[in-house]
Chain A
Amino acid sequence: MSFFSMFDTAGSAMTAQRLRMNVTSSNLANADTVSSSTGETYRARQPVFEAVYRQEQAAAGGNGGAGIGEASTGVRVREIVESEAPLQQQYNPNHPMANEEGYIFKPNVNQMEEMANLISAQRSYESNLEVFNSAKQMYMRTLQMGR
């Protein structure tokens, strides 16, 4: 683990949380997008995170293979999944987007859930920013040692 790797760790987490906020705001923005068929309707999206490990360190480590291994060095977004929740079908024959049977389809975005998600992402972002700042302070003080 390099001396400054804490920046990478906190940075990767901030990037991931920013992406989560982007996806959430996209969900909220499209919460009222109406369409006339299930295929065209927007579906709520969620990023799936994954821990990043440095493999070369595990290979070089002298723990004899019995050790628990190394710490994670960050986080990345593995994929963005679409929600499987059912779409909202509404009977509204006067709607310009209504199909032949008079139905319109609304996205499966749960606005309360998305708001909670947004707040959670924001809190996680802030805590990683705090880690970044503490790390910076530690390194700066160490670099100034003996002056």
Chain B
Amino acid sequence: MAISVDDALGVHPQAMKLAHQRSQVIGANLANADTPNYKARDIDFEGAMRAELGRREGLSMTTTSEGHLAGSGGNPGELQYRVPHQPSIDGNTVEAAKEQTRFSENSMRYMASLQFVEGTFSTLNKAAGGQG
């Protein structure tokens, strides 16, 4: 039986890619915490992850005629605007404390996936007879 590195790593490479993108978005939010009219953005991690895995749950529209188009509930990996608890008077919607929490949480996700990938490599290495 052939060993597939892709299968062994599972969702973690995609999770790392997504966490990296999200950390850039949240980093940009924190950078613009004092910019007038800046609107905070974020990626829907769960939705994007589901889409990555190809198990996208449909918010599909009912089609009652052949001419109807099958609509979809938008691209889950797309950037979305955050709804602030209390918008500030200069139009900025960044809530620094919450963004910091999200940034830390997202870094932990990244690190967790990285840890798993490293573990898998070491396992595969051992299985392949290396010194691992």
Given A131-B27, A141-B114, A146-B118; A49-B78 close (CB under 8 Å): no
Question: C-beta contact mask, A35-67 vs B, less than 8 Å → 1, else 0?
Answer: 000000000000011110000000000010001
B19 to chain A, nearest CB (A): 9
Residue of A nearest to B122 (CB): A146
Q: Is A112 interfacial (CB-CB < 8 Å)? A: no
Query: Are A9 and B27 closer than 8 Å at their CB atoms?
Result: yes
> In angstroms, how far is the closest chain A Cβ from the Cβ of B102?
11
Number of A-B contacts (CB under 8 A): 102
Inter-subunit contact B23/A124 (CB<8 Å): no
A5 engages B75 (CB within 8 Å): no
Q: How far is the CB of B65 from chain A (nearest CB, A)?
A: 24
Is B27 within 8 A of A124, CB to CB? no
Q: Are A127 and B30 in contact (CB under 8 A)?
A: yes
Among B28, B33, B41, B75, the one with the most A-chain Cβ atoms within 10 Å of its Cβ is B28
Report yes or no: A141 in contact with B111, Cβ–Cβ below 8 A.
yes
Out of A13, A120, A138, A146, name the residue touching B31 (CB < 8 Å): A13
With both chains docked as a complex, state the minimum distance between the C-beta of B10 and any C-beta of chain A, in angstroms: 16
Contact residues, A115-147 vs B (CB, 8 A): 120-121, 123-124, 127-128, 130-131, 134-135, 137-138, 141-142, 145-146
Interface residues of chain B: helix, strand, loop or mixed (majority): helix
Q: Does B96 interact with chain A (Cβ within 8 Å)?
A: yes
Instruction: Tell me the residues in window 78-132 of chain B with beta carbons closer than 8 Å to chain A beta carbons.
Output: 78-81, 96, 100, 103-104, 107, 110-111, 114, 117-118, 121
**Alpha-carbon gap, A98 to B33, bound state (A):** 43
Q: A97 at interface (Cβ–Cβ under 8 A)? A: no
Task: Quote the shortest CB–CB distance from B75 to chain A (angstroms).
Answer: 7
Contacting residue for B28 out of A3, A74, A137, CB 8 A: A74
A70: nearest chain-B partner, CB-CB: B79
Query: Which residues of A are found within 8 Å of B49, using beta-carbon distances?
Result: none
CB distance from A110 to the nearest CB of B (A): 17
Residue among B23, B30, B100 making CB contact with A13, cutoff 8 Å: B30
- Kindly list the 6 A-B residue pairs having the minimum CB-CB distance in the complex, ordered from nearest: A13-B31, A49-B35, A72-B28, A71-B25, A71-B28, A131-B27
